[in-house]
Structure 1
């Protein structure tokens, strides 16, 4: 079954299915599981083929009293044919995290590989699969939130059609099938025009509401690929939140596999 899902995802991406065609196919499906899977495949197909990218990120950490801490990060990403994306994040500010670097290898099947370089200790720390639900660099994002979306790592259930800010959206429930997830499920709002994620609700292992991420300020690149330039992750159980603002996106900058290995963590400046 997993091999079929992989082939189906690659087929959708290769033929460049239009949003209209994808919506017609989704409308024809009555089974909630198959319909949810079809939405997920369309999401992936509409964000495949961008190659590599670089961007800057400002991360604002807010505690429940409203106190803020800013962090400046440079992010590099690379698509990998037949597997998940690779990503490298390098912290530039503030001084206490300067030089910290985070490397992730997302995978279509099994657990992702992640490493964190701590300049104060001058060593690379591997993030164990049992710690993927922990907070990333003090933010409300978990380590597992930093992986690329891969269709095969979830089971799906279509819930309904809805609207967000006047846009028609699909609402789909997803259940992680990989080990050690901190979530029992997520609910995702995906627009029908471009298959962009506008909102994700996260539920903890007890089934209680844990976090909500809102995505806005979308911009299009290469006349095809959309990126949300603002993400707000709110933790309903702690009252904390993290605001992420993206800027300076560049695509096809010539990145390759050599820019995403463990030795690159120590020299990432």
Structure 2
């Protein structure tokens, strides 16, 4: 919480106490805004119970899962329901990602080229569900606008890939509140056409903080398709057992 507070202060310091009647306050730092958003999302560590709904024009699928994160690089996602999906899991550790299929009792390492692909048939990718921080490390950021949303200021930030960055998107446009709440993200292909749009549909207090508890991803050109993730419960900044983010625990989870 101390790190998040410091980053938000950095992002907004130029807006308080510096402007006079005939001057305009400098814009906040987009790097600090995005860092604050990720710190709100992941904290130093997080554990959450979530549901995922995959909607298609002629069917709908509901799943439940647990997620754990630690620092910027480690994440574990494990499905708990329905029975046919229970046990499927994804582990991200550093720059490497593995999936476990309980029916095959097999762990598979994913190449980097697959991380932007659909995860469990949803509209979210492996990177999305593991809360990967490549948005912070592989892109440069530019503040492009701001709007008011009730008492809050919402900033729009364009993220452009750094030269040679191992990413698939030509651009990502992010909307972040001044207090570090992620409100949305649009993903563009290399021709700068929007491919999919993520929207935060509900912000609520959870785990002692305001949090984007309902997030929906929609493909831009496919009518009636969307995937919604809802966070039911979460705790932050709790110590994690050393075995949690290991291949052994991915395949044989401990209680």
CA distance in 2, matches of 1:248, 1:40: 23
Structure 2 counterpart of 1:73, from 65, 68, 80: 65
Q: Note the C-alpha offset of 1:38.
A: 4.2
State the Cα deviation string for residues 84-133 of structure 1 (Å, max 9, x = none): 23111111222322211111125xxxxx2111001111110111011112
Q: Note the C-alpha offset of 1:253.
A: 4.5
- The answer as to 2:144 corresponding to 1:156 is no
State the Cα deviation string for residues 23-72 of structure 1 (Å, max 9, x = none): 13378657xxx943343344456667x43322111100011x15210011
Aligned to 1:213: 198
* Residue 220 to residue 153, structure 1, CA distance change in 2 (3 Å): farther
Q: Note the C-alpha offset of 1:218.
A: 2.3
SS at match of 2:6: coil
Q: How many positions carry a matched residue from both structures?
A: 242
* Residue 96 to residue 14, structure 1, CA distance change in 2 (3 Å): closer
CA distance in 1, matches of 2:55, 2:13: 42
Structure with the bigger percentage of helix: 1
Runs of 4+ in structure 1 over 6 Å off: none
Aligned-residue CA RMSD in angstroms? 2.8
Q: Note the C-alpha offset of 1:236.
A: 1.2
CA distance in 2, matches of 1:19, 1:179: 27
Aligned to 1:97: 85
Structure 2 counterpart of 1:141, from 112, 124, 129: 124
- The answer as to 2:213 corresponding to 1:229 is yes
* Residue 164 to residue 214, structure 1, CA distance change in 2 (3 Å): farther
SS at match of 1:59: strand
- Is the CA contact 1:133–1:180 (under 8 Å) kept in the aligned structure 2? no
- Is the CA contact 1:101–1:268 (under 8 Å) kept in the aligned structure 2? no
CA distance in 2, matches of 1:56, 1:101: 14
Q: Note the C-alpha offset of 1:238.
A: 2.5
SS at match of 1:145: helix
CA distance in 1, matches of 2:100, 2:246: 12
- Is the CA contact 2:4–2:39 (under 8 Å) kept in the aligned structure 1? no
- Is the CA contact 1:209–1:236 (under 8 Å) kept in the aligned structure 2? yes
Structure 2 counterpart of 1:265, from 236, 250, 253: 250
Aligned to 1:25: 14
SS at match of 2:84: helix
Aligned to 1:53: 46
